[in-house]
Amino acid sequence: MDRQIGCSSCFANFRLSPLIGDDTRITLQLGIEKALALGRGNLMGDYKKINVGIQNADDIILFVELNHYSFSINNQRDSGNINVGLSLITF
């Protein structure tokens, strides 16, 4: 069985969505967390993310998100990823 990464302890999130046109918003989301890696020994570090997107009148958001983990995995000092996606707000 492969070892998995998984647990978070405390996450702070801040989101801003100012109106930039009649029906368009730019979205900015920042987050930071103290992260733990389960099943990988005694790993602990920071998790940071930034998300930037465009929201239309139908509440559909096209976004780009960057994530960074500040603990070492597989002999790499830190790791991160880039996500591109769509989101729908339904409330």
Give the tens place of pLDDT for each residue, 35-89.
776 666 667 788 899 999 999 999 999 999 999 988 776 777 888 899 999 999 8
Residue 34's CB is within 10 A of a number of other CB atoms, namely 13
Residues 6+ apart with CB under 8 A from 54: 24, 25, 26, 27, 61, 62, 63
Three-point CA angle 18, 52, 48, nearest 5°: 120
Q: In angstroms, how far is the first alpha carbon of the chain from the final one? A: 40
- The pLDDT value recorded for residue 61 is 96
pLDDT reported for residue 30: 95
The pTM assigned to this predicted structure is 0.74
In whole angstroms, how far apart are CA 53 and each of 6, 21, 33, 62, 63? 26, 14, 21, 5, 4
pLDDT of residue 6: 57
What the block records as the tokens of 38 is 């389960």
When pLDDT is cut at 50, 70 and 90, the band that residue 1 belongs to is very low
For the chain, domain boundaries: 7-88
2-16 pLDDT, tens digit each: 555 555 567 888 999
